[in-house]
């Protein structure tokens, strides 16, 4: 992080905005809620929270924010998405809601609710050598998984495919149940299926701020 506190936008049309604001400010960043295109001016980074990605996508379109936001990230604005935020960043959604689109700035395809519904939420300790020395405690709430990783996208953490509902459908061809990526990074864009903003493990936010 540069000596002056960076200004980090938090997509604020829907989702767990407050939790991210709390973490980012506790780590020394200034935050700004992002609701309309003008809010994007002069940002050092942006965080896309968890929530409901189809609602976020629809509201972003209604507010005229989706295209300018995608363009800003494509032009180099560092971005970090958690859960629904990962879905918003993704290039592809395997099972979108009707009319659901995305920003298309991270070359992965995601499967929404890959681990089941709210009752199937789970916690796990993940090895994430790129972001943290110790295992990261991760909570998955109706979380997506990455089912296709594009070129140049680094997988930072995975969970066993057996965790997924209808486990290994996409790996059925070769019979191998590969791990499912749940944390990825491609240059200045990173995303996690889980919610570091609610567990008190701020390694990912720290790594994100360190890169600004």
Rule CB under 6 A: is residue 81 a binding residue for ligand GLN? no
| Whether 83 is catalytic | yes
Measured between alpha carbons, how far is 88 from 93 in angstroms, rounded to an integer? 9
Could you tell me which of 120, 43, 82 has the C-alpha nearest to residue 198? 82
20 counts as catalytic: no
Strands 154-159 and 180-186: antiparallel
Active site residue 127: no
Element (H, E) at 82: strand 79-82
Tell me if 179 contacts ligand GLN by CB under 6 A: no
Asked if 12 interacts with ligand GLN (CB under 6 A), we say: no
* One of 87, 89, 146, 209 touching ligand GLN (CB under 6 A): 87
Distance (Å, whole) CA 172 – CA 104: 27
1, 22, 35, 52: residue in contact with ligand GLN (rule CB under 6 A): 52
CA angle at residue 172 from 169 to 177, to 5 degrees?
Answer: 85
Residue choice 142, 163, 185, 205 for contact with ligand GLN (CB under 6 A): 142
Q: Considering the complex, state which of residue 83 and residue 189 has its C-beta at the smaller distance from ligand GLN.
A: 83
Give the footprint of ligand GLN on this chain (CB under 6 A): 50-53, 83-84, 87, 112-113, 141-142
For the annotated catalytic residues, the residue numbers are 83, 195, 197
């Amino acid at each position: 992080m540069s000596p002056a506190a960076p200004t980090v936008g938090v997509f604020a049309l829907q989702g767990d905005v407050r939790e991210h604001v709390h973490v980012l400010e506790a780590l020394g960043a200034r935050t700004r809620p992002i609701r309309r295109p003008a809010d994007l001016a002069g940002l050092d980074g942006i965080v896309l929270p968890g929530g409901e990605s189809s609602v976020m996508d629809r509201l972003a379109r209604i507010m005229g924010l989706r295209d300018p936001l995608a363009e800003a990230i494509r032009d180099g604005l560092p971005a970090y998405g958690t859960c629904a935020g990962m879905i918003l960043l993704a290039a592809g959604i395997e099972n979108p809601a009707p009319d659901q689109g995305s920003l298309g700035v991270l070359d992965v395809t995601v499967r929404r609710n890959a681990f089941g519904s709210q009752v199937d939420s789970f916690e796990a300790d993940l090895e994430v050598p790129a972001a943290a020395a110790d295992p990261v405690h991760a909570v998955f709430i109706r979380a997506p998984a990455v089912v296709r990783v594009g070129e140049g996208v680094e997988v930072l953490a995975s969970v066993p495919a057996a965790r997924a509902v209808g486990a290994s459908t996409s790996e059925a061809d070769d019979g191998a149940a590969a791990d499912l990526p749940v944390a990825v990074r491609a240059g200045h864009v990173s995303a996690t299926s889980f919610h570091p903003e609610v567990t008190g493990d701020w390694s990912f936010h720290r790594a994100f701020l360190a890169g600004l």
